[in-house]
Every structure is written in structure tokens, then in C-alpha cells.
Amino acid sequence: MYMGYAESQRWLRAVRHEVDTRPALAAGRVVPFVIPSFPVLPAAAEIISGSALVLGAQNAGWDDGPWTGEVAPSMLAELGVTLVELGHAERRRHFHEDNAMVARKVTAALAAGIKPLLCVGELERAEPADAAAVVYEQIAAASDDWDAAASMIIAYEPVWAIGAEEPAQAAYISAVVQALRTLLGRHGLGSLPIIYGGSAKPGLLPELAHVSGLFLGRFAHDAKNFGAVLDEALAAAESTPARP
């Protein structure tokens, strides 16, 4: 909610320009997405139509019906939303969303055909194995079964790094995600998409291992930074053999 309605549209056009000037994105190995505020979604769908950009929403309710002020996943799907961010640390802290509520939202999103982008992360810096265990439990609590978890994207955001001047150290992020992949591997989910957020910015992605991408916040307010991260992701994709 840093940008107003008109400013959000200007930003979306600038982001689309960054995407359109990188034709390599058409191959689909790097998937860029934008998640604007609810009122902007219809305009955003028009602005990014025909581009490689995927449209997401910042939150969702858990059902249709008498939930004044909420937005149903079914309505988001009508608007062309295919990705929804759920369980962000700010929602958990300020709006008291617990694991049970996040799980209801995940179930509703999947029922509407929308992929959950599940935000998880430890409150304070810990040993990587301990942080991974906390995140693993959050993922387990958010889904009825591990088959449902297979349909998610995981956004690993250490709460202590959100809004900080610098992201968590690359070695720490890589170690946590590696340990998390080992835990998820018990359920055949070792290759689940896991992106890092928490003061993420250009220059970080090339330093990371085991991470699928970045979840940018304020550093993407300048669309050129978004483009710079796209270049880093494209370079990483070129150096990685394509999966069958």
C-alpha cells in the first residue's frame, strides 16, 4: 500500500516495459509476477495482458458469503488472478492470522484454481536447521495434506529481515532452504519452488543456492531494479539444465 491507484498503474506499465524488453522470458523458465492492491487488480490485468507477467493478489478470504470486507478467491479468479499471497508476517502479526486461518485460506484458494504463495519464516535469527524446522511446521500446518502442499509456492521470509536495511546473509538463506528441502524431501517435495523475501534486492540472487527466485518488496518500487533481478534470474536459468 505504498502506492496510490494512479501511481500503481504507472508502476505496472514500467514493470511491463522491463518484461517486454526481455524476450527470453517467453521461454517460461523465469516467471515474473506482480501482486498489487485489491482495487488495482482489474486495471493490472489489462495492463499486463499478453505479457509474461502473472497476476497475483495480496490476500484472500476463505469463502464466499457473509464475510463483509473480505475478497473471495472465486472473485479473484474471475479477475484473472492465478496467484495469491497468504500468511504474510504482517497479516499474522497485525491481523492475528494463525496457522488455522491460513490453512482455510489455502484450501479456498486451491478450490478456486489459484496457486497459494505461502509466506513463512522464523521470528528471530536461529541456527539454519532450527529455522528450517519452524518453516517446515508452518508449511505442514497450512495444508490438509502434502498433495495440497505440492501446489504451493513457498515464500521464505525471515520476519527479522523484513524491512531491514539488508537482507539476511546469503549463506544463511541458502543453508535454511537447503535444510528445508531435506525436510520436504520426506514427502517428495524437495523441489518445491521456494523464493526468498525480506529486503531482497538486485545482487542477491546470484549469491544464493537452493533458492528458486526472489520476492521483491520496496526495492522493486523502481522498476529498473525489477529488471535487474530478471536479468539475474535469466542468467541463472541459462546456466541450469532444463528440467524434463
Side by side, the strands of the sheet bearing 194-197 are 33-34, 54-57, 83-86, 115-120, 153-156, 194-197, 213-215
Catalytic choice (85, 97, 122, 157): 157
Whether residue 157 lies in the annotated active site: yes
Is 121 strand, coil or helix?
coil
Instruction: Annotate 135-150 with b (16+ C-beta within 10 A) or e (fewer).
Output: bbebbbebbeeeeebe
CB 97 within 8 Å of CB 87: yes
CB 65 within 8 Å of CB 98: no
Pairwise CA distance, residues 76 & 82, whole Å: 8
Whether residue 88 lies in the annotated active site: yes
Is 86 strand, coil or helix?
strand
Pairwise CA distance, residues 206 & 153, whole Å: 20
Is 225 strand, coil or helix?
helix
Catalytic choice (18, 88, 122, 232): 88
Name the E strands within 59-141: 83-86, 115-120
The amino acid at 206 = P
Active-site residue set: 88, 157
